[in-house]
Amino acid sequence: MGIHRGTAEPSIWLWSRLEILDIFGSAHVFPIVAEVYLKGRCKDIEKIPDCIKALHGLTELHIYGCPKIVSLPELPVSLTRLIVDTCESLETLTPFSSDSPIEVLYFSNCFKLGHEARRVITKKPRDAWLPGRNVPAEEFDHRAIGNCLTIPFDTYECRICVVVSPKQRMVGYVDLLCRKTKNGLSTGEQRLQTLPKVQSEHLYIGHYSFSDKLDSGVVLEFRTSSKDVDVVECGIKIFDRTNQ
């Protein structure tokens, strides 16, 4: 479902069973999709109506290429995924409640996000993605410049943050990969996440649990599947310290 009006019509909120809502603006985030599905250029939405919070069945909201949206209102309590891409004027969003089921907050190429909006994005969800050049010190007490980090304590659960830096404008998605090494021996490499294309440095934050204990002294080495996208900084937050 796409909305192509300057202001979204309140009548759409009668769709109480709506689960996924896509909103497209004038900026073509997906050139191929835009060419096939969108006829001409869409008018920009300047505001998401407050009544969107009444869509109690909505689980996913995607907002693409709306350069005039400055803020997001209170969103449905049922929302689990919020994907916002290339909304250059976006500065604020309403915080989610403590019992919100939100799991994914992606804000690609939204370069005007304010301090409070960034706190909402980095603290609440399982996975987050937003513009940034440094691992947040208030969220990650173990940080390193470069793409390698040593686990300081035994753990079964942690949050990871990496700064991804494209050498040139990305033209497609890339995978974020992690290799674990202990005493010079690698235990293999795994894919952590697929990352959207961006214009400049972004932060990826992910919450991970392990069936097998992640031992202290293990070195995590992060990289992407593209030689044109580097990991330049990383950080970790340990949730359980079983060796203390």
- Whichever domain contains 181, its CATH number is 2.60.120.40
Last residue of a domain, one of 131, 166, 195: 131
Whether residues 106 and 161 share a domain: the answer is no
Asked if residues 136 and 234 have their Cβ atoms less than 8 Å apart, the reply is no
Residue 129 tokens, joined: 């993605």
Confidence at residue 244, expressed as pLDDT on a 0 to 100 scale: 41
35 pLDDT band (50/70/90 cuts)? very low
The answer as to whether 220 is a domain residue is yes
Instruction: Count CA atoms within 13 Å of residue 74 on its CB side.
Output: 8
Number of domains in the chain: 2
Give pLDDT tens digits for 6-21.
444 555 556 678 899 9
31 pLDDT band (50/70/90 cuts)? very low
Write down the residue that tokens 């995978």 correspond to.
175
For a pLDDT cut of 70, what percent of the chain falls above it?
Answer: 85
Residue 235 has pLDDT above 90, yes or no: yes
Whether residues 21 and 102 share a domain: the answer is yes
Three-state SS for 25-68 is CCCCCCHHHHHHHCCCCCCCCCECCHHHHHCCCCCEEEEECCCC
Whether residues 124 and 65 share a domain: the answer is yes
Q: First vs last Cα of the chain: how many Å apart?
A: 52
Q: What are phi and psi of 236, to 5 degrees?
A: -145, 145
Could you list the residue range(s) of the whole structural domain that residue 109 is in?
A: 10-131
Last residue of a domain, one of 111, 131, 151: 131
Last residue of a domain, one of 131, 156, 191: 131
Look up the pTM and report it. Answer: 0.85
Residue 103 has pLDDT above 70, yes or no: yes
